[in-house]
Structures are given as structure tokens and as C-alpha cells.
């Protein structure tokens, strides 16, 4: 029994260490000019202020003003979401909405009445779009081929965002859709622990990237929804990455970071990701990485409550 208590204390101390480290990496964040914002695109860098350890309501409201306007616009469905290099990935739109929803939830009591109403109206438009995207993605029985990795990554992030949206807006249909999506993901997991099934013709690096982005959404949902079967699937997936992939060859961004922290056996992968980011000055860290770190910090604090 003494050994069990000591092990739990050691794990708790490790998680607290990660919490402090990630929190420190979210200090000193300053806005950047979204150079690739246009009539057809919105840039994730716009959300940098939402990745701050402590949200500033005024800066946050300025950051999302264009998102609010787009959420009320008939042009929303034609807009693409891009990163600092102007590159588009299907996963970026739900990442944007998820980050905005998380900030809305965290700032619920500090937003002014006018901003509260505008955020809510704008968010509904974006969430309706995610619902349409998610219901249009068909899940096949059995393992998911790696060729569908970008669509499945998009689906899991849509589901993660809609899980929060369902709680915020009291929409059971959204939370049910999120639950069904992650249930399908867990059931389709391969025996190796991978979420995607690869063949000899699949390029490993893109497949690993999609695995990591799926893993990140799954781990975040598992801890927020207290989904034990999915948590077990997340653990199997982290072991797959530990033994079978090289995450740093797939991406320099911390996709899946909380999952690797959650499993003590995969702390070396978490440390590798965080060390690469520590070598950069705060303003050099790309906005996608900051948004992912912010989510990992939230998940860690849930786990440590």
C-alpha cells in the first residue's frame, strides 16, 4: 500500500511539473498581424490572444470580432482557415471553433453583455457549419484507411468542438453526435493501437500527422467527457506512437501532447515535443502550437482537480 501511495504521489508531481511548464510557455504571448486574412480566408494566428494562460476579455474580443462577423455571414461556408504560412488543413476550422468555444466557456462571467451576445450569435453559425461537416462524414465498419486521415482528423475535432458547444448552448443533439463520433473511432481502432490502417503505398509522415491530430482530439474529449473506453483507446494509441512512429518527423507542433503526458510510459515523447518548443522565444512559437498547448493545460488542470 505504501508503494501505491508513493507511485500516485510521484505521478501527481510529474503532472504538476508539466502543468507549470506549459503554463510558463503561454506567458508573454503577443498578437501578430494575420497576413493571410482575406475575403476567402481567416488565419488561425488571429486567435493567439485566446492561448494566453489568463484571458484578457478586451484582447479576446478584438481577436474574434471578424469571426463573429463571419458567423453571421452567408459567406461562412466558403471561408477556409489557414495557418501563418497560408496553408490550409481540414482540421484547422474545428480547431479554431474549439479554441473560441473554450475561451467563451472560460470567460463566461467576464465578458460584457454586448460581447457576450455577439460571441454567442457568431459561434452558433460556426457550430452549425461543423455539425453539417460532421454529419457528412461517413464512418465505415472496420479499420479506417490512412487515405481518409485528414477527414477523420477533421471529424474528431468537429466532435470535440460540438461537445463543448452542446454544453454551452444546451444542445443534446451536438453532444450526442460528439459521443457517437468518438465511439465509432474507438471501435475502429486497429490492434496495433493506431487509429488508421496503413498499407505499403501510404507515406508514413502524413499518416503519423493525422494519427497525432486524431489522438489530440480523442484525449481531450476523453478527459472532458470522462469517457473511460476512449481513454483506454488513447493509451493504446500513445503506446503505438512510442514503439512505431517518430512524431517529430511528422510535425514540429505538439499535436497529442496531453495524451503523451497522461500516459507515464510516453513522457519521453511529451518531453521531446516540449523541449523543441522551449528552444524558441515566445513570439517565435507558431499559433497552432500555442492553441494546442492551451488545450493541454486545460486538460491537465481537469485531471489534477
Looking at residue 30, its pLDDT comes to 81
2 pLDDT more than 50: no
Q: Residues with Cβ < 8 Å from 78, sequence gap 6 or more?
A: 40
pLDDT tens digit string along 245-264? 999 999 999 999 999 999 99
Looking at residue 262, its pLDDT comes to 96
Looking at residue 112, its pLDDT comes to 61
> Do the beta carbons of residue 238 and residue 277 sit within 8 Å?
no
pTM of the predicted protein model: 0.94
Cα-based distances in Å from 10 to 4, 17, 102, 210, 257: 10, 11, 30, 32, 20
Mean pLDDT of 287-304: 94
Looking at residue 200, its pLDDT comes to 84
Question: Is 149 inside a domain boundary?
Answer: yes
Question: Is 5 inside a domain boundary?
Answer: no
- CATH number reported for the structural domain that contains residue 175 in this entry: 1.50.10
Q: What is the C-alpha to C-alpha distance for residues 10 and 6, in angstroms, rounded to an integer?
A: 6
Mean pLDDT of 153-173: 96
Q: Residues with Cβ < 8 Å from 280, sequence gap 6 or more?
A: none
196 pLDDT more than 80: yes
Which string of DSSP letters, residue by residue, matches 153-201? HHHHHHHHHHHHHHHHHT-HHHHHHHHHHHHHHHHH--TTS-SEE--TT
Q: How many domains does the chain have?
A: 1
> Do the beta carbons of residue 92 and residue 153 sit within 8 Å?
no
Q: What is the DSSP letter of 211?
A: H
Looking at residue 1, its pLDDT comes to 45
Q: What is the DSSP letter of 80?
A: E
Question: Is 7 inside a domain boundary?
Answer: no
* Residue 132: Cβ within 10 Å count: 11
Q: Mean pLDDT for the chain?
A: 91
Q: How confident is the model at residue 122 (pLDDT cuts 50, 70, 90)?
A: very high
Residue where the block lists cell 503577443: 30
Q: Residues with Cβ < 8 Å from 192, sequence gap 6 or more?
A: 240, 244
Cα-based distances in Å from 102 to 140, 160, 232: 30, 11, 24
Question: Is 3 inside a domain boundary?
Answer: no
Return the C-alpha cell found at 184: 465509432
Question: Is 189 inside a domain boundary?
Answer: yes
* Enclosing domain of residue 181: 16-304
Which string of DSSP letters, residue by residue, matches 217-229? HHHHHHHHHT-HH
Least reliable range by pLDDT among 41-50, 75-84, 133-142, 197-206: 133-142
Question: Is 1 inside a domain boundary?
Answer: no
Question: Is 133 inside a domain boundary?
Answer: yes
Mean pLDDT of 58-87: 91
Of all residues in the chain, what percent carry a pLDDT higher than 70?
A: 95
Of all residues in the chain, what percent carry a pLDDT higher than 90?
A: 73
pLDDT tens digit string along 4-40? 445 678 888 899 999 999 999 998 788 788 888 899 9
Question: Is 277 inside a domain boundary?
Answer: yes
Give the H or E element holding residue 81: strand 80-82
Amino acid at each position: 500500500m505504501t508503494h501505491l501511495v508513493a507511485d500516485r504521489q510521484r505521478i501527481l508531481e510529474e503532472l504538476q511539473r508539466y502543468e507549470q511548464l506549459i503554463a510558463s510557455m503561454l506567458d508573454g504571448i503577443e498578437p501578430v498581424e494575420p497576413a493571410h486574412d482575406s475575403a476567402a480566408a481567416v488565419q488561425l494566428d488571429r486567435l493567439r490572444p485566446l492561448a494566453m494562460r489568463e484571458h484578457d476579455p478586451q484582447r479576446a474580443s478584438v481577436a474574434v470580432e471578424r469571426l463573429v462577423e463571419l458567423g453571421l455571414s452567408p459567406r461562412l461556408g466558403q471561408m477556409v482557415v489557414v495557418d501563418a504560412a497560408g496553408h490550409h488543413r481540414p482540421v484547422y476550422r474545428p480547431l479554431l471553433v474549439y479554441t473560441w468555444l473554450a475561451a467563451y466557456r472560460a470567460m463566461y462571467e467576464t465578458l460584457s453583455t454586448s460581447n457576450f451576445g455577439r460571441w454567442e450569435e457568431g459561434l452558433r453559425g460556426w457550430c452549425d457549419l461543423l455539425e453539417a461537416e460532421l454529419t457528412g462524414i461517413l464512418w465505415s465498419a472496420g479499420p479506417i484507411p490512412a487515405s481518409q486521415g485528414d477527414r477523420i482528423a477533421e471529424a474528431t475535432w468537429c466532435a470535440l468542438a460540438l461537445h463543448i458547444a452542446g454544453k454551452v448552448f444546451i444542445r443534446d443533439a451536438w453532444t450526442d453526435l460528439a459521443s457517437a463520433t468518438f465511439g465509432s473511432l474507438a471501435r475502429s481502432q486497429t490492434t496495433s493501437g493506431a487509429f488508421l490502417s496503413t498499407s505499403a503505398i501510404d507515406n508514413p509522415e502524413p499518416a503519423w500527422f493525422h494519427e497525432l491530430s486524431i489522438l489530440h482530439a480523442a484525449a481531450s474529449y476523453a478527459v472532458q467527457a470522462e469517457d473511460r473506453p476512449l481513454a483506454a483507446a488513447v493509451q493504446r494509441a500513445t503506446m503505438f506512437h512510442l514503439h512505431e512512429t517518430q512524431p517529430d518527423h511528422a510535425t514540429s507542433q505538439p499535436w497529442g501532447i496531453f495524451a503523451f503526458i497522461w500516459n507515464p510510459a510516453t513522457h519521453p515523447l511529451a518531453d521531446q515535443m516540449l523541449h523543441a518548443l522551449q528552444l524558441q522565444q515566445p513570439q517565435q512559437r507558431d499559433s497552432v502550437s500555442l492553441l494546442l498547448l492551451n488545450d493541454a493545460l486545460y486538460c491537465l488542470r481537469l485531471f489534477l482537480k
